[in-house]
Amino acid sequence: MNWAGTTGTIAGNAIAAMTPLIFAALGGLFTELTGMLNIALEGLILIGAFFGIVAASMTQSLFAGLVAGSLAAAVLAWAYGSATIRLKANIFVTGLAANIFASGLTVVLSRQWFGTKSVVAFKIPELARPFAGLLGSIPFFGPALFSHTVLVYLSWFFVIAAAVIIRRTPLGMKIRATGANAEAVAASGFRPDAYRLIAIVLSGFFCGMAGVSLSLPLAAYVPNMSAGRGWIALVAIYLGAKSPGKIALACFIFALAESYSNYAQGLFRIPAEFILMIPYAATLIALVAGSLAKRAGKAKG
């Protein structure tokens, strides 16, 4: 295999693999900005993946799948957010609740509706690849950048949209202010708790899209198909210094690790467990390296 071809394939796969990470990290960014660590991303992705593909297969509409997946995750996020904010429960414990609920409910429903606890394949329409025709024929860059499904470009659009919402709109300003100084928000006559809940519901909405962008391209639901992406997204937010553009870059680096490991598996016959380890290991290394860099920066300053 030629070098450029291999690089192009790995980069192209990384761009596809980056999509669910970007959606999840954007979701987590909203809660992070209000000062909450949202460990429920993982479960929210799973719910989105499941209900998204089920709805898409029932209606034979990909758009309906996208909407259903993100709404289902937003509903779970609302329940988890309400317990956290209205009932003043501990956010980590309610976050665990959301994760455990998601993996339990998807298994129970999968068993109930499809008679299996393992992979369920669905017949759904094919996802559009809007730029594959003309731009896709550009050598090297074409396949890597322009051959992807519409979900990939939707995630890029949302990176920009999230940046605009966060930086330029009153809602974004209040979300940021809630994290920076909740007392000041309350003193200006707004309710910080309302913005915390909005942020959690938004995180559900985005994670739902992350889930949909896992299950729709595969035309299948795989148990626990979120596979740690919610946790990787958290670390991407941290490494991306809470800025949507930098977060997308961090997501690309993690996706590159995933894509390379898939490539390496075919090449070296590595046991599957070690391939599955790579995202967790990369996330842990990034987390430690990020802390080291921060510490070094502090020592200098």
Q: Which is nearer to another protein, 105 or 150 (CB)?
A: 105
The SS3 assignment for 121 reads strand
Contact between residue 160 and residue 41 where contact means Cβ atoms under 8 Å apart: no
Nearest to 228 by CA among 201, 255, 256: 255
Residues of the shown chain interacting with another protein in the complex, contacts defined by CB under 8 A: 32, 35-37, 39, 79-80, 83, 86-94, 96-98, 100-101, 103-105, 107-108, 111-112, 117, 179, 228, 231, 234-235, 237-238, 271, 273-274, 276-277, 280-281, 283-284, 287-288, 291-292, 294-295
What is the Cα–Cα distance from 229 to 82, expressed in whole angstroms? 24
Taking the complex as a whole, the smallest distance from the CB of residue 86 to another protein amounts, in Å, to 7
Q: Which is nearer to another protein, 4 or 296 (CB)?
A: 296
Taking the complex as a whole, the smallest distance from the CB of residue 94 to another protein amounts, in Å, to 6
Phi, then psi, of 158 in degrees rounded to 5:
-70, -25
Tokens linked to 226: 């979120």
Contact between residue 198 and residue 82 where contact means Cβ atoms under 8 Å apart: no
Taking the complex as a whole, the smallest distance from the CB of residue 177 to another protein amounts, in Å, to 14
Taking the complex as a whole, the smallest distance from the CB of residue 200 to another protein amounts, in Å, to 12
Q: Which is nearer to another protein, 266 or 271 (CB)?
A: 271
What is the Cα–Cα distance from 220 to 49, expressed in whole angstroms? 9
Contact between residue 127 and residue 150 where contact means Cβ atoms under 8 Å apart: yes
Q: Which is nearer to another protein, 104 or 133 (CB)?
A: 104
- Amino acid letter, residue 245: G
CA angle 133, 70, 155 (to 5 degrees): 35
Taking the complex as a whole, the smallest distance from the CB of residue 28 to another protein amounts, in Å, to 9
Tokens linked to 252: 């690309």
Q: Which is nearer to another protein, 20 or 81 (CB)?
A: 81
Contact between residue 233 and residue 24 where contact means Cβ atoms under 8 Å apart: yes
Taking the complex as a whole, the smallest distance from the CB of residue 68 to another protein amounts, in Å, to 20
Q: Which is nearer to another protein, 15 or 39 (CB)?
A: 39
